[in-house]
Amino acid sequence: MPKVEEIICIECPLACRVGIEMNEAGDKVLRVLNFQCQQGKGYALQECKSPLRILTATVKTEGSVRRLLPVRTRGPVPKGSLKDCMGLLAGIRVKPPLTLGEVILADILGSGVDLVCCDDLKG
């Protein structure tokens, strides 16, 4: 018997409750229900098959009055890799000078996405 998973779309302010009907094994999408736009349909399919997230965090600093620097990924990374990404960030120490948008770590965990700083870091 097919199962329906509900996903709340975040693509626009409507926050549609999109239904994804899967086959019994849960490995194939049969239908997408209740979406109000193609963006919502695309979001729900992506979220069902391979969810992605923007990672926002902080890294420790050295040689600065600030102890932490806010960072984020330039684009989404697979949701399943967030814990590994955070483990990697725990060992990073950055030193000034750094500017907003500067790459802290290129191609984090082979994702093709760079980690960048979200603020300037001065000494």
Q: Which CATH superfamily is domain 56-117 in?
A: CPE0013-like (3.10.530.10)
E strand or H helix at 8: strand 3-8
Of the listed ranges 1-10, 72-81, 82-91, 113-122, the one predicted with least confidence: 1-10
Which pLDDT score is estimated for 3?
85
| pLDDT digits 0-9 by tens, 49-80 | 899 999 999 999 999 999 999 999 999 999 99
Which pLDDT score is estimated for 26?
83
Q: Where are the domains of the chain?
A: 3-49, 56-117
Burial environment of residue 88 by CB neighbours within 10 A (0 to 12, 13 to 18, 19 or more):
middle
Token output for 26 = 């849960």
Which pLDDT score is estimated for 86?
98
* Res. 47: pLDDT tops 80: yes
Confidence of residue 27 (pLDDT cuts 50, 70, 90): confident
* Res. 23: pLDDT tops 80: yes
pTM given for the model: 0.83
Region for 39 from its dihedrals, namely left if φ exceeds 0, alpha if ψ lies in -120 to 50, beta otherwise: alpha
